[in-house]
């Protein structure tokens, strides 16, 4: 049951309470229809003041549902109901009065049991507390406790009438609570809890989860089994069909049997659900393994294609007599090789879809160093700041950027240090050459590539930093922070 369905059910119950109370008040007391007041001849009556209090509480709850404007009337109604309940309770305890209605008798002849019972007064006090909690939007746990206590009192009274009104009347707390009053409280407090259906035990019972579904399966058994067995034992006792000790033993054995069957049935359903989930998890694992295999194959094919493109460029550059043309071919081939190396790193990663920044930089610098004159140790990575996860696009752009910033390999290049500093939403990439002569300013083509790559990473390149021998790059946004491995 969703929140919308719960709200509609609550509204229906509140409308029922208002309508029933008005019928009791007008037709029962106004026109003297005793059956509407008592439910059955000889039972305690629902008093006029009780019916009016039901109308006031239920109407206020309906008003709260209309919007924020219902808060003030609801608080006023809560104060009136609380005063009425306290006065009725105080009058019965200290003055032996049966309620306000004893001062102005109306309608059918009053029986000794007629009046406002302490249970009725306490339930209306709980209802006024629920009104305050709903009107102010606070105290959800308090609301649940009050509504549960009121519902329990109503159910005790209804059950007492089902198994014998005289036994119920022997309890001073419920002596004068009429059957219509008890039914009204059950409907009223169920409606109160349905007005906040996502909280408390009612939220667990009507929720969408598997636990809630299991609770709904068990609820009829748990609720109806004691009722049916108690009715059967009561029937045996009244007809003298069984010894009291035997009745108790029979009650215990049947109750244990039924509840054990319900528990085992629920356990069987849970086992089936667990087996189904395990099967689905295994299918997902196999699908993930297939996807990873396909992704690795794609990376291999991309890397092979890049190597073929690089070979074609070198072949084309071979006969070129112009040094500038050859330098252009070499620079392009170097960028293609760098791109291929990034894909090689992704292939070797345990997670082909993303890679940690620190691991990626260390692997990238090792791969770039192996192709330089100084060997693998000539390019070193230094990461300062929190690690984060890179996706494929970001890793490719960052790898090409670092390769472009390092520049072409030269005999006098010396060692190169790649420093990446990350502070909150800003990243700074800095290339430090051991020899200033080994870090000439980038070419115009290289500057354009750097600016484009920085834009892809959400940064704003500073031309002075790009042109400096110690090249700096500041990126204004977080390097895919949303993909960090948490």
pLDDT, position 59:
92
pLDDT confidence tier of residue 14, bands split at 50, 70 and 90: very high
Residue 102 tokens, joined: 């004893």
> Structure tokens of 450?
């750097």
> Among residues 208, 237, 252, which one ends one of the domains?
208
Per-residue pLDDT, 23? 93
Task: Please state the φ and ψ torsions of residue 389, each to the nearest 5 degrees.
Answer: -100, 135
Residues 236 and 259 in one domain: yes
Domain identity same for 428 and 464: yes
* Residue 463: strand, helix, or coil: helix
Point out the least confidently predicted range of 65-79, 243-257, 383-397, 432-446: 432-446
Question: Among 105-114, 193-202, 364-373, 454-463, where is mean pLDDT lowest?
Answer: 105-114
What's 462's domain CATH number? 3.30.565.10
Same domain, 462 and 420: yes
Check residue 483 and give its pLDDT.
41
- Which domain-ending residue is among 181, 208, 235? 208
Q: Which residue has the higher pLDDT, 325 or 21?
A: 21
Confidence label for 2 from pLDDT (cuts 50, 70 and 90): low
pLDDT at 263: 78
Tokens of 69: 């404007």
More confident residue, 349 or 465: 349
Tokens standing for residue 86: 């306290």
Let me know if residue 330 belongs to a domain.
no
Give all strands (DSSP E) within 37-107, no chain letters. none
In a domain, 332, yes or no: no
- Answer yes or no: is 318 within a domain: no
Task: Please check whether residue 422 lies inside any domain of the structure.
Answer: yes
Instruction: List for the chain the helix, strand, coil content (%; round to 5).
Output: 70, 5, 25
Contact status, residue 93 vs residue 173, Cβ threshold 8 Å = no
pLDDT cut 70: percent of the chain above it: 76
Q: What is the mean pLDDT of residues 215-237?
A: 77
Q: How far is CA 46 from CA 35, 80, 183, 262, in A?
A: 11, 19, 11, 39
Judge whether 409 lies within some domain.
yes
260 and 372 in a single domain? The answer is no
Q: What is the C-alpha separation between 376 and 394, in angstroms, rounded?
A: 24
70 or 73, greater pLDDT? 73
Distances (CA, A) of 32 to 103, 116, 365, 410: 19, 19, 96, 111
3-class secondary-structure state, position 341 = helix
E strands, 197-311, in order: none
* pLDDT digits 0-9 by tens, 108-154: 445 555 677 888 899 999 999 999 988 888 778 888 899 999 999 99
**Residue of higher predicted confidence among 340 and 439:** 340
Q: What local confidence, expressed as pLDDT, does residue 22 receive?
A: 93
Whether 423 shows a pLDDT value over 50: the answer reads yes
Could you give the CA distance from residue 125 to residue 78 in angstroms, rounded to a whole number?
9
Tell me, yes or no, whether 204 lies in a domain: yes
Q: Are residues 59 and 161 in the same domain?
A: yes
Residues 476 and 374 in one domain: yes
Q: Report residue 469's pLDDT band, with 50, 70 and 90 as the boundaries.
A: very low
Give yes or no: residues 356 and 242 share one domain.
no
- Asked if 472 and 430 touch (Cβ cutoff 8 Å), the reply is yes
Between 465 and 228, the more confident residue is 228
Residue 314's alpha-carbon distances to 20, 275, 330, 334, 341, in angstroms, are 93, 58, 7, 10, 17
Q: What are phi and psi of 183, to 5 degrees?
A: -65, -40
| pLDDT score at 353 | 60
Q: Are residues 372 and 461 in the same domain?
A: yes
Helices (H) then strands (E): counts for the chain: 16, 6
Q: How far is CA 125 from the centre of its chain?
A: 33
Task: Identify the residue with better confidence: 81 or 381.
Answer: 81
φ, ψ of residue 211 to 5 degrees: the values are -65, -40
Residue 481 pLDDT exceeds 50: no
Whether 308 maps to a domain, the answer reads no
3-state secondary structure of 383: strand
| Structural domain for 36, as ranges | 3-208
- First-to-final CA distance of the chain: 34
Q: Are residues 18 and 162 in the same domain?
A: yes
Whether the pLDDT of residue 381 is over 50: the answer is yes
Mean pLDDT for 237-261 is: 73
Structure tokens at 339: 């791109």
pLDDT at 67: 65
One-character DSSP codes across 101-113: GGGS--SSPPPTT
Asked if residue 343 belongs to a domain, the reply is: no
Q: What is the residue-wise DSSP string for 1-25?
A: --HHHHHHHHHHHHHHHHHHHHHII
What percent of the chain stands above pLDDT 90? 13
165 and 56 together in one domain? yes
Give the pLDDT confidence of 305-333 residue by residue, as tens digits: 878 887 887 777 777 677 777 777 777 87
| C-alpha closest to that of 475 among 425, 433, 435 | 425
Q: What is the pLDDT of residue 425?
A: 59
pLDDT band at 478 (very low <50, low <70, confident <90, very high): very low
Buried b / exposed e along 318-353 (16+ C-beta atoms within 10 A):
eeeeeeeeeebbebbbbbbbbbbbbbbbbbebeebe
Residue 95: predicted pLDDT: 62
Question: Is residue 355 within a helix (H) or strand (E), and if so which, with residue range?
Answer: strand 354-356
pLDDT at 187: 94
Quote the CA–CA distance of 151 and 185 in Å, as a whole number: 7
Cβ atoms of residues 306 and 336 within 8 Å: yes
| pLDDT average, residue stretch 340-366 | 73
- pLDDT for residue 480 is more than 50: no
Q: Tokens standing for 460? A: 């704003």
Say if CB 344 and CB 304 are below 8 A apart: no
Are 29 and 151 found together in one domain? yes
Residue 30 is classified by DSSP as: I
Query: Of 362, 358, 364, nearest to 345 (Cα)?
Result: 364
Whether the CB-CB separation of 397 and 479 falls below 8 Å is answered with no
| Average confidence score pLDDT of the chain | 76
Q: Which two tokens stand for residue 184?
A: 């009204």
In the prediction, which pLDDT does 28 show? 86
Judged on CB neighbours under 10 Å (0-12, 13-18, 19+), 465 is middle
Do 39 and 154 share a structural domain? yes
| The predicted structure's pLDDT at residue 486 | 31
What is residue 354's predicted lDDT score, i.e. its pLDDT?
67
Q: What is the pLDDT of residues 145-185, one digit of tens each?
A: 999 999 999 988 888 888 776 666 667 777 768 889 999 99
**Cα–Cα distance for residue pair 193/126, rounded to 1 Å:** 13
Distance of CA 362 to the CA centre of its chain: 40
């Amino acid at each position: 049951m969703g929140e919308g369905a719960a709200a509609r059910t609550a509204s229906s119950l509140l409308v029922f309470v208002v309508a029933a109370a008005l019928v009791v008040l007008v037709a029962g007391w106004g026109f003297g229809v005793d059956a509407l007041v008592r439910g059955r001849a000889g039972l305690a009556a629902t008093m006029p003041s009780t019916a009016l209090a039901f109308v006031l509480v239920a109407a206020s709850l309906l008003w709260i549902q209309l919007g924020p404007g219902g808060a003030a009337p609801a608080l006023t109604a809560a104060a009136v109901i609380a005063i009425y309940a306290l006065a009725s309770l105080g009058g019965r305890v200290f003055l032996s009065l049966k309620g306000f209605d004893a001062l102005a008798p109306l309608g059918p002849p009053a029986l000794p049991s007629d009046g406002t019972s302490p249970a009725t007064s306490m339930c209306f006090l709980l209802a006024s507390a629920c009104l305050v909690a709903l009107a102010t939007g606070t105290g959800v746990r308090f609301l649940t406790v009050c509504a549960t206590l009121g519902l329990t009192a109503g159910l005790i009274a209804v059950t007492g009438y089902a198994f014998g009104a005289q036994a119920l009347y022997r309890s001073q707390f419920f002596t004068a609570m009429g059957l219509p009053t008890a039914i009204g409280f059950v409907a009223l407090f169920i409606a109160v809890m349905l007005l906040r259906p996502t909280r408390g035990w009612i939220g667990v019972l009507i929720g969408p989860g598997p636990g809630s579904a299991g609770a709904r399966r068990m609820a009829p058994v748990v609720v109806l089994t004691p009722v049916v067995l108690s009715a059967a034992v009561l029937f045996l006792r009244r007809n003298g069909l069984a010894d009291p000790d035997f009745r108790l033993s029979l009650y215990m054995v049947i109750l244990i049997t039924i509840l054990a069957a319900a528990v085992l049935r629920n356990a069987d359903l849970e086992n089936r659900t667990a087996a189904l989930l395990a099967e689905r998890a295994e299918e997902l694992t196999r699908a993930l393994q297939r996807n990873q295999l396909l992704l690795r194959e794609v990376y291999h094919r991309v890397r092979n294609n890049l190597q073929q493109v690089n070979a074609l460029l070198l072949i084309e550059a071979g006969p070129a007599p112009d040094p500038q043309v050859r330098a252009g071919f070499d620079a392009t081939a170097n960028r293609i090789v760098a791109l291929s190396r990034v894909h090689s790193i992704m292939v070797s990663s345990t997670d082909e879809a993303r890679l940690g920044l620190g691991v990626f930089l260390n692997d990238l610098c090792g791969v770039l160093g192996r192709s330089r004159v100084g060997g693998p140790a000539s390019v070193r990575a230094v990461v300062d700041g929190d690690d984060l996860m890179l996706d494929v696009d970001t890793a490719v752009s960052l790898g090409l950027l670092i390769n472009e910033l390092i520049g072409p390999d030269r005999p006098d290049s010396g060692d190169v240090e790649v420093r990446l500093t990350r502070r909150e939403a800003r990243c700074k990439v800095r290339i430090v050459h051991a020899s200033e002569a080994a870090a000439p300013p980038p070419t115009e083509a290289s500057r354009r590539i750097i600016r484009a790559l920085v834009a892809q990473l959400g940064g704003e390149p500073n031309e002075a930093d790009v042109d400096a021998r110690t090249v700096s790059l500041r990126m204004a946004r977080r390097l895919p922070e949303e993909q960090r491995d948490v």
